[in-house]
Structures are given as C-alpha cells and as structure tokens.
Structure 1
Amino acid sequence: RSRPIALKVKMTTTFHRSEVEDIFKKLKDLDGVVGVVVTTSEGAAIKTSFDNVTTMQYATLVTRLCEQARSTLRDLEPGNDLTFLRMRTKKHEIMISPDKNYFWVVVQN
C-alpha cells in the first residue's frame, strides 16, 4: 500500500491555464497516483489523465457526491462548506478538493 499523498489545492482565485497544467502534472506524477481529473463545478471535465469513460464516471459521480456532501454539511451546521473529501475503497483512495468553480480529483492506489 502506498503512502497517502497530501492533496490540498486552494482554488480561491482564478488559475491561469499554465498553473492548472503545473499542478495537474505534479499530482499525476506522484508515486501511487492512478489518475487525476479536474472538472468544473457542473461536472464538465477540463483536464484528465483517464480515458473518456472513466473521466465521465468520475466527473459525474464526484459532482453529485460533493453536492450531496455540501448539502448535508450545511444542514448539520449552517455556514459550513465542504473543503476536502477523502474516501478509501477496496481498490483505490479517492481525494477531492472542491471549490466554487472546480473539483480536483486524485485517485491513488
């Protein structure tokens, strides 16, 4: 089992394309990373290292998951927001760094 990576991408400002490319490459090149997807908050993939089918799965499902998690957090404690989500499955670990405009999704072994 690989060591968990630290993923914390602050998307509070608009990134230039070159900055997104740099962050994407750094994340993708980390040991144990299976793939990276960057989506809009609506779920449209902006950048991915996965094939089209896998990209669409992650983009669609992560968007829905984050919307539900945000809603639940706000119901529990009004004023709170989702800042990071980390899940482990039998096969992978999925880390999501959401923002108003983007979702960064990293999948690792």
Structure 2
Amino acid sequence: MQKSQKGVQGIIVVNSEGIPIKSTIDNATTIQYAGLMHSFIMKARSTVRDIDPQNDLTFLRIRSKKNEIMVAPDKDYFLIVIQNPTE
C-alpha cells in the first residue's frame, strides 16, 4: 500500500469490527485512529439511518486545523485516509 498522493500522511484499512488490516503509519497511531474512527463512523451511520432508514453513510470527511480525515465505509471494511489539507 502506497501513499504517493501529495499531502497524504497515512492510509488505514479497518475491518467491520474496527481492527486495522493494513496501514502505512506506525502501529500506535493506527490503533488510535482505527478505534476512534470506527466508533465515530458507527454513530454517524446510525444518525443517518435514524433520519432516513432507507439511507446509509457512504463517505465522511472531517477537517481540522492540522489534518483532514476521510473515511469511506463499506459493508466489511473502512478506508481511512489522513492528509495535510494545506499540501
């Protein structure tokens, strides 16, 4: 797995239980992002379904001063990309 796109700091693939499968960043950071984003995605997905039971979360983007975190959840896996939004 490569992170050749400019500004990308890390890529993490997480299974549906929140366990990291592949990552381009260190283990401690991977575990932190995987656990927190899994919890956040599950809450966001639940909120979307509460608003409309026929709908589902397909993409989530969070931007802060330091990072931009993009998550593409699927049935079995989540793709998490952490990037520097200014690069």
TM-score range, shorter chain: over 0.9
State the secondary structure of the residue aligned to 1:59.
helix
RMSD value over aligned CA atoms? 0.7
In structure 1, what is the equivalent of residue 44 of structure 2? 69
TM-superposed CA distance for 1:88, in Å, is 0.2
Long gaps (5+) in structure 1: 1-23
Deviations 1:25-65 (A, max 9, x none): 2xx11000000000101111110011111000111011101
Structure 1 residues 1-109: aligned runs within 5 Å: 24-25=1-2, 28-109=3-84
State the TM-score, normalized to the length of structure 1.
0.75
Runs of 4+ in 1 over 6 A off after TM superposition: none
Higher strand fraction (1 or 2)? 2
The separation in 2 between residues aligned to 1:61 and 1:94, in whole angstroms, is: 12
With normalisation by structure 2, the TM-score equals: 0.93
Identical-pair percentage: 55
